[in-house]
Amino acid sequence: MEDTETQLARPRVPMRTVLASIVGLWMCYFILTTVRAEILDLGFQLELLWRRLLVALIGVAFTFAMWLILRLFEQRSLWMKVSAALIIAAPVSVALAQANQMVFQEIEAKVVERLGEQQGLRVRRDESGNLLVDVPMPPRVPEAPPPPVPPVPPVPGGEATVAVTSDAITINTSTPQDTVQQITEIALGRYFLLLAWCALYLALVAGEQARVAERREGAFRRAAKAAELRSLRYQVNPHFLFNTLNSLSALVLTGRTQQAETMIQTISTFYRRSLADDPTADVPLSEEFELQRLYLDVEGVRFPDRLTAIYDLPQELADARVPGMILQPLVENSVKHAVALSSDRIAITLSAREEDGMLVIAVADDGSASARKGRSASGHGIGLANVRERLGARFGSQASIVSGPHDGGYSTHIRIPLFGPGFAQGDAHA
């Protein structure tokens, strides 16, 4: 219970979701850069492939470290989370760019040389690491003037030198700022890549917070519904106890001690079973029928010659679930308005059936016409209203209750969703 409350109070994106998003990001990077290398035909596929994979793994590790810091801001406002993402991503992108530079440093000269050869140029580095481009000279023609030296493009932040030999023009394009510029360009790319992941992560955080808020709202609704059901259920027990104590008092006053002792034992069994369950829980229909049998046994001691109980519960519906003690007020009304007011033997029938995928439960009696008229006028008092409110709180519009006279008596029919072990419809809360 405490773990659930903590989870609702502090929503967090699951770590496996975070790891999946990070791995997915760098997997996309690995695939796209590999496809780009194939299109440009850079060569050295195997050497570039494992270096690219190493860079992706380093990216996963650095992004995970960034998440460990960013998650500290999950409960903060949106602007603080965005600001944290913008600030944290900057040093991480620089570190990734430097790692990229270190990993590809050895293979870089080979790739540049191969690209130069494809363009008919010879690209090489001198002992100082300067990049040299050898441009082949055209064959000499005695009559023709010497070829002009090709213009050297300006190199920002550095100098370029030209050396003319008998077979080539060598151009030195190396500058002191090359490495810094290259790292800066790579870092900018990594920065926007990390910001894209941060946007995804913040969206996941927002989604998780929305789900937690929805679960919290659902928990509050269920708690309120449970309180309502508990209150309605507790209305039944005092009413039943009042009636049974009156019946027990009548037995004692008339000297029927044996019947009174039997009634006390039956009342004890009834309350032990009825109070053992959660007031908001559903019970098997067979258990509900058994509770009503105990109650009618109690009333049978009071009316031994006027009460007959009939139970019609098909075996296939025995495990169907119903709200606990939902039939108690209806059975009690039949005793009060039919048995107690009649001098004849009255049969109270409890039955159940399946109808169009719904469970229909009926409580009927064959009381006199005068009793039926008085019952219709009184509307069953608190009993029928209690049952109607409990069904509404539990099932909403899926449940209905119809009560009225019929040929030879009075009946009440409850229609609720059919659910429980062995039934496909399943539980259906309102």
Poorest-confidence range of 118-127, 161-170, 186-195, 230-239? 161-170
In this predicted structure, the answer to whether residue 358 has a pLDDT above a threshold of 60 is: yes
Q: Which amino acid is at 245?
A: L
Cβ-contact 410, 380 below 8 angstroms? no
pLDDT at 110: 63
Polymer length of the chain = 430
Compute CA distances 78 → 195, 199, 378, whole Å. 15, 11, 61
Classify domain 256-417 at the CATH topology level: Heat Shock Protein 90 (3.30.565)
Q: What is the pLDDT of residues 103-159, one digit of tens each?
A: 877 766 565 555 555 555 555 555 545 555 555 555 555 555 555 555 544 444 444
Q: Where are the beta strands (DSSP E) in 206-327?
A: 282-284, 307-312, 321-323
In this predicted structure, the answer to whether residue 27 has a pLDDT above a threshold of 90 is: yes
pLDDT bucket at 308, cuts 50 / 70 / 90: very high
Residue scoring higher pLDDT (221 or 315): 315
Q: State how far the Cα of 297 lies from the Cα of 303, in Å rounded to an integer.
A: 10
pLDDT bucket at 279, cuts 50 / 70 / 90: low
> Of the candidates 60, 44, 49, which has an alpha carbon nearest to the alpha carbon of residue 99?
60
pLDDT at 360: 97
Q: Give me the residue label for tokens 């998440």.
A: 67
Maximum average pLDDT range among 96-105, 175-184, 419-428: 96-105
Cβ-contact 302, 247 below 8 angstroms? yes
Mean pLDDT, to the nearest integer, of 233-243? 63
pLDDT bucket at 5, cuts 50 / 70 / 90: very low
Compute CA distances 126 → 130, 170, 174, whole Å. 5, 11, 10
Cβ-contact 270, 298 below 8 angstroms? yes
Q: Which amino acid is at 256?
A: R
Q: What is the pLDDT of residues 368-396, one digit of tens each?
A: 755 555 554 444 456 788 788 888 888 88
Mean pLDDT, to the nearest integer, of 398-407? 88
Structural tokens at position 420 = 């429980």
Task: For 355, list phi and psi in degrees, rounded to 5.
Answer: -145, 110
Maximum average pLDDT range among 130-144, 158-172, 184-198, 220-234: 184-198
Contacts of 158 (CB under 8 A, 6+ apart): 174, 175, 176, 177, 178
Question: How would you classify the pairing of strands 346-355 and 307-312?
Answer: parallel
Helices of type H across 41-139: 45-70, 78-118
Cβ-contact 22, 63 below 8 angstroms? yes
Give the residue extent of every domain in the chain: 1-120+179-234, 131-173, 256-417
